[in-house]
Amino acid sequence: MNIRADIPSSSPTLPPELRAWLGKERHLLIDGKWVPARSGKTFEVTDPATGEVIAKVAEGDKADVDLAVKAARRAFESGPWSKMSPSARGRLLHKIGDLILEHADELAALEAIDNGKPKNVAKAADVTLSADMFHYMSGWATKIEGKSIPISALAAPGSDFFSVTRPEPIGVVGQIIPWNFPLLMAAWKLAPALTTGCTVVLKIAEETPLSALRLGELLLEAGLPDGVVNIIAGFGETAGAALAGHPDVNKVAFTGSTEVGKLIVKAASHDLKRVSLELGGKSPNIILPDADLSLAIPGANAAIFFNHGQCCNAGSRLFVHRSIFDKVVDGIAAEASKIKLGHGLSEGTEMGPLVSSVQYERVNGYIAAGRDEGAKEIVCGGDVPNGKGYFVAPRILTDVNPSMKVVREEIFGPVLVATPFDEIDDALIAEANNSVYGLAAGVWGKDTGRAQQVAHKLRAGTVWVNCYHVFDAALPFGGYKQSGWGREMGQAVLSNYLETKAITTRLGSN
């Protein structure tokens, strides 16, 4: 096996510290220590822009998950975490946010070589939002409050009842995350679990383990006690399944495909674990006839092509009023043709490769299916770098109908399907809502009142009006229908990690 301490010759160079870090076998974080997998197994991590191996990572499975859960249980029940004051917990979370910012450059470089996304994008989006999530959540540690509730139950004469609610951490949480935003998904999951006082076993994606493993080092540097966060690199069918079905895990929080989301629910159903899910999408993006096209065209372009279309909330089904349909499609094609594809570390790269050969085959399979079903394909640019990388040029498919696979299914690549509409009526809303998913949507129009009316009728957890991809740690994010259960971020996410206890006390001696 050819494990390289240096970045492959076909890739731009990495800073020497990172090169050295990648040269060492990366281990699992269990009970505050970096340890190899019990089985001794490792797996290779590749740079999707070159197909070359860049690191070797311990491959955790059931035995490692068992140890990690044990450590998390001890940290929750009797370790320092259970005794730490909310204010100390908040300060620690804030420090983690600061450390992420201090290491922004390095974390962004890891995302670039592991996931393929451009480093500058990873720094501006993934890393910044990850730090924001810890900073925002650090404030909640001291604000998780119960209520005193007047009740009508009859007490004996001369006595009274006093009732309060007490939110309590749910316990040991198993978290499973995907590869499209490796660091950010870890932050979205860890920060709220920690602020509520839970302990965690985090199973990171096999395609992209590097930035979350580096984050694990920063957690220890911040002073997180042993066992509070355990990080398992490994595969879904082994490590992921062991975590989802583990009898001593109180709750599973998952982000990934709807298909695996259903498996998680099944695994968790044996002992009725709490489950929250952030799953797929096929989000409608609607351009009304009065839209400001100088905003809507670049907006629709970014809605689908940001992160190479590998976003659960990608605006992948475009609906445009017939009067402006050709102008909008031509405009998006022109914008998309300017996107510079390349290695994530190369100067000027705006779009990297897809994350893996599996996703490359999958997305190309959808493009072929679209062609077979009679869609008209516009290839935008097509200036794909030579070599082994998993690059796919942006595509727009027109002449599509609602029964086509490319219109119904999540492609998770740079492929937009575009359909004209004639009226802003119930038929348009019904078509926009005609999906098993309900994660996000966009509406573009100068008459914001009318755009709001459309927004109210869309069955989606997030609707952006005259903007897209606006994320904030303070805003709840999650899906209707088969896009998931529960919400990430904002105050709303806290309920994913809390149980509510009602305590009623009889006052008085009679």
Residues that bind ligand NAI (CB under 6 A): 176-180, 203, 205-206, 235-237, 240-241, 244, 255-257, 260, 263-264, 279-280, 312, 359, 362, 410, 412
Given the complex with ligand NAI, which of 34 and 235 has the nearer CB atom?
235
* Min separation Cβ 366 and ligand NAI, Å: 9
- 111, 278, 410, 488: the catalytic one is 278
- Measured CA to CA, the distance from residue 279 to residue 253 in angstroms comes to 11
Which residues, 6 or more positions from 471, have their beta carbon under 8 angstroms from its beta carbon?
129, 477, 489
DSSP states of 254-273: EES-HHHHHHHHHHHHTTT-
59 catalytic? Reply is no
**Encoded tokens for 287:** 């351009």
By the 10 Å C-beta count (0-12 exposed, 13-18 middle, 19+ buried), 212 is classed as: buried
Give the helix ranges, DSSP H, for 338-468.
357-372, 405-408, 426-432, 448-457
145 catalytic? Reply is no
- 198, 311, 312, 380: the catalytic one is 312
Which residues, 6 or more positions from 150, have their beta carbon under 8 angstroms from its beta carbon?
163
* Min separation Cβ 435 and ligand NAI, Å: 13
Axis crossing angle, helix 104-114 with helix 16-23, rounded to the nearest 10:
60
Given the complex with ligand NAI, which of 239 and 341 has the nearer CB atom?
239
Given the complex with ligand NAI, which of 94 and 246 has the nearer CB atom?
246
Going across the sheet that includes 498-507, the strands are: 148-149, 160-169, 498-507
* Min separation Cβ 204 and ligand NAI, Å: 7
**Are the C-beta atoms of 447 and 346 separated by less than 8 Å?**
no
- Measured CA to CA, the distance from residue 138 to residue 494 in angstroms comes to 12
Given the complex with ligand NAI, which of 130 and 138 has the nearer CB atom?
130
**Encoded tokens for 480:** 């209707």
* Min separation Cβ 181 and ligand NAI, Å: 8
Given the complex with ligand NAI, which of 112 and 253 has the nearer CB atom?
253
* Min separation Cβ 408 and ligand NAI, Å: 12
Q: b/e for 319-353, b at 16 or more Cβ within 10 A?
A: bbbeebbeebbebbbebbeebebbbbbbeebebbb
Q: b/e for 187-202, b at 16 or more Cβ within 10 A?
A: bbbbbbbbbbbbbbbb
Given the complex with ligand NAI, which of 95 and 308 has the nearer CB atom?
308
* Min separation Cβ 183 and ligand NAI, Å: 14
Catalytic residues: 278, 312
